Amino acid sequence: MLNLPISNTTEPIEGLSLDNANGIYIPDALEPLQIERIIQSSLLALTPHIEGHQIKHYGWYENHPLNSPSPLKLKANPIPIWLECVGERLNEWMKINQIVLHYCKDLSSTDHSSTDHESLLYPLPWDWHFDSRTNYGERIAIIALSPTRIECKRSQTFDWTLNTGEGLILQHKFRFSGLHRILGNHFIVSRQVRINNQN
């Protein structure tokens, strides 16, 4: 797999305006039938539990637009996330308007039982499941907040292990037509997210 850096910069491409916003930039260098790994250059950007930081996980499936006030009442402004697409299908920078925060048991935990989240609209990420096309865009980036393992079942079984701060772009073929599960604390970045209206 190809390792690519995530960098915090306001000028990813010369002459392209990003509204003067600092952000996390995820280079998407996917070729057909490949999954590319992305390695973060600064762990500070994705370290959980930093007061006033956008990237936090507080519980079960908390979603909110990055360009609106956070319901988590964070002290800092949201950090915009941008995805660079360099393939033939997408040839310009796209702003990621939504993120989905997932909470998942740490790999060291053997208890993956549920407690107060029976009413969730989404499958629990540590259970084998398919993604719905109405929940996410075609491809998602999974960013690890702790050591995380991603397992996929199609004609054969695939698995990837991410360290804290590493990410994996998961293509649609592994998500819509193959069972998969995610073991570890993580969040998901997608171009298209259905907002969960749960209180």
Pairing of strands 186-190, 24-28: unpaired
DSSP symbol at 41: S
What average pLDDT does range 28-35 have in this prediction? 31
| Helix, coil or strand: residue 172 | helix
Handedness of CA 118, 168, 178, 138 (dihedral sign): positive
The structural domains of the chain, with segments of one domain joined by +, span 3-190
What average pLDDT does range 140-166 have in this prediction? 75
pTM here is 0.44
- Biggest CA-to-CA distance, the chain: 50
Band (171; pLDDT cuts 50, 70, 90): low
What average pLDDT does range 175-198 have in this prediction? 61
Handedness of CA 89, 94, 100, 104 (dihedral sign): positive
